[in-house]
Amino acid sequence: MTSLLDTRRVFVMIFAIGLFAMAARNVTDPDVWWHLRTGQLILQNHAVFHTDPYSFTKFGQPWVNHEWLSDVVTFIVYRIAGWAGLIVVFAAIVSTAFMCVFRRCSGPSYLAAAVTVLGAIASSPSWGVRPQTFSLLFASLFLLILERSSAHENLLWYTLPITLIWVNLHGGYAIGIAFMFLFIVGNLVDVALGFQKWSESRARLQKLVLALAACLAIIPLNPYGMRMYRYPIETLYSSGIQGYISEWLSPNFHDGMFPPLLVMMLAIFVAGAVSPLRLRPAELLLLATVTWATLHSARHIPIFVLVAAPLLSRLIYAWLFQNRGATFPAKPASAIPILRLSNGIVLAAFLAFTMIRVRQVINGQSGAETRTFPSAAVSFFSNNQVQGPLLNYYNWGGYLIWKLYPDYRVYIDGRTDLYGDAFMDQAGATYNISNSSWREPLVRWQIRSVILPPNTALVSALRCQSAWKEVYGDSQAVIFERDQ
């Protein structure tokens, strides 16, 4: 019991609990709703979907639900423990991913924790109850395995079962494949430039190549088979996804979300300049790749953090403890019992704080839903039998699927890959009245009702159309019906 309360153990436990408290947040992702519905229907039907069941615009067309297993897991957790279960489980996944980062950081615990916290803050806008969280965890595990495999080569075989699970949870499995490829290329460059000897690297490289080949061979072991090879590439090059989903845009450093990322990028640049440590070409290759990906799309910020945080800690550690000769003060032996008692009190207090914090988040879930989604407008739909087909706001499609399907099918939802770039462009033009063909979807799909935010350009236009009648309105949503 006494060893459990030594200072370093207590520090690590408090740090892990703190990460969990940071990661506990309300469920507000607009896609969580169709994930829940899909998980429910997969369990009911004992089969995954291969065609779209939710929209009237793409109904029956091929749909690659690369997140099918995430949908099932999410719904099972929700059915057993409700929103509280989802908040706790996904917070635990995020905190586990960053504890892996902490383990990979160099130097004393407080330095590793400080760098990890900076990375956590930088990536926190991407956290939540969403399938991408599984990719964050598995990408973190992949990096831990790849780095530790330099001393324990057989660790590389753990990438196979992880890949098998990952490819069924989320299309982000390609991140792990990319990491393995970059480690192979980086190690070859290190050998070519004399940073490593071929005799010392050959056995590990051979196993790394074999592990990569095996992981690539495993990818088709999913309900969509060979199609999953192409899916990540198609997503990366979709103009609809890049143009209409904010997290796929380049980070705007004038936005309040991104200064921590800028701090981390500047810190690693400055630390690289002042530290006596010089990163190897393999490390620079990996860092340069994830930096480019992050500057291209904010969605990749968590991946940048996974790579950059341990490198930053190594650079700072070398600067502080090698260049400046800093040392740790020794603790007097007589103070240890008092320290352990103090540690126990602090740990208990922090546990109590975290429990209160998580409980507040759980209790606030209902309010977060009503603030983020048109719950009152959806109730109006249900109670007044508003006629369809309905044209809905993009971010509300998933919510309507959870609340109104199968009585109503949606015009659009968050499955951008299903709808395609041309459809997304037309939907954007209709919402914003940005070209002369904005009426085309209303006519083509014989739209009878519309639900949109009040400040949408289309709302202003419909208010001027005698054929449309506003039947409901509040601060969140407006509903129009077409007159007979």
Paired with 62 in beta bridges are 51
DSSP 8-state class, residue 332: P
- Residue 332 — very low, low, confident or very high, per pLDDT cuts 50/70/90? very low
pLDDT interval class at 340 (50, 70, 90): confident
* Residue 244 confidence class, pLDDT cut points 50, 70, 90: confident
pLDDT reading at 326 higher than 70: no
The answer to whether 364 touches 422, Cβ cutoff 8 Å, is no
- Give residue 373's pLDDT band: very low, low, confident or very high (50, 70, 90): very high
- C-alpha to C-alpha distance for 418 and 327, rounded to whole angstroms: 58
The predicted model gives 102-108 an average pLDDT of: 92
Q: What are 75's two structure tokens?
A: 């719904």
**Residue 417 near residue 478 (C-beta atoms within 8 A):** no
Q: What is the pLDDT of residue 480?
A: 95
Please say if the pLDDT value at position 417 is more than 60: yes
CA distances 41 to 45, 69, 382, 406, 471, Å, are 6, 12, 21, 11, 32
pTM of the model: 0.92
334 pLDDT above the threshold of 50: no
- As a whole-number percent, the residues of the chain with pLDDT over 90 amount to 75
Mean pLDDT of the chain: 91
* Tokens representing residue 285 in the block: 């290759």
Query: What is the rounded average pLDDT of the residues 256-265?
Result: 93
What integer pLDDT is reported at residue 329 of this predicted model? 53
- Of 44-53, 166-175, 239-248, 441-450, the range with the lowest mean pLDDT is 239-248
Residue 328 confidence (pLDDT): 52
Quick check: helix, strand or coil at residue 387?
A: coil
Band the pLDDT of 388: cuts 50, 70, 90: confident
Question: CA of 192: how far to CAs of 99, 180, 195, 281, 392, in Å?
Answer: 34, 18, 8, 10, 57
* Mean per-residue pLDDT, 62-67: 95
Task: List, for residues 109-140, the tens digit of each pLDDT value.
Answer: 899 999 999 999 999 999 999 999 999 999 99
Report the chain's C-alpha Rg in angstroms: 25
pLDDT of residue 1: 44
The contacts of residue 25 (CB under 8 Å, 6+ apart) are 87, 91, 127, 128, 361
- For residue 203, pLDDT beyond 60: yes
Average pLDDT over residues 274-283: 93
Mean pLDDT, rounded, for 462-469: 90
| Spatial strand order in the sheet of 478-482 | 390-392, 449-452, 478-482, 468-473
**pLDDT confidence of residue 439:** 87
Is residue 433 within 8 A of residue 458, CB to CB? The reply is yes
Distance CA 453, CA 442 (A): 17
